Amino acid sequence: MQYVFVLGGWDGLSCRSDVALYSPDGAPAGHLAPNARSMLSPRDALASAFVDHELVALGGHDGTNYLASCEIYTASTPGKGRFTTWTPLPAMSTTRAFHGAAHIKRTVAVFGGQ
């Protein structure tokens, strides 16, 4: 089964740290299954990249400040089950929100934004 991860966002009152999964395989259209663990930090306008079964969340905005912080989620660990935990990564050298990210040869490139 494949998933689309839906990370954080803004609910009109505050930034969110939730992670929901959309399953295009067999689930009703638009069904969100909030069974993944929440990110460590609430984030809106973040970028993300998927690298070898790990999901990286980069920067964003927490409702007050632009963020440089990053975190990683192991989406599939052999022998450990799926959807384990978020772990902090070293921060980016500058804060960014409304930016993009791409996985290129085991490196995550971050570009644009404010």
| pLDDT digits 0-9 by tens, 53-112 | 788 999 999 999 999 999 998 765 544 544 467 889 999 999 999 999 999 987 899 999
Quick one: tokens of 98? 């409304």
Evaluate if residue 11 carries a pLDDT over 80.
Answer: yes
pTM: 0.83
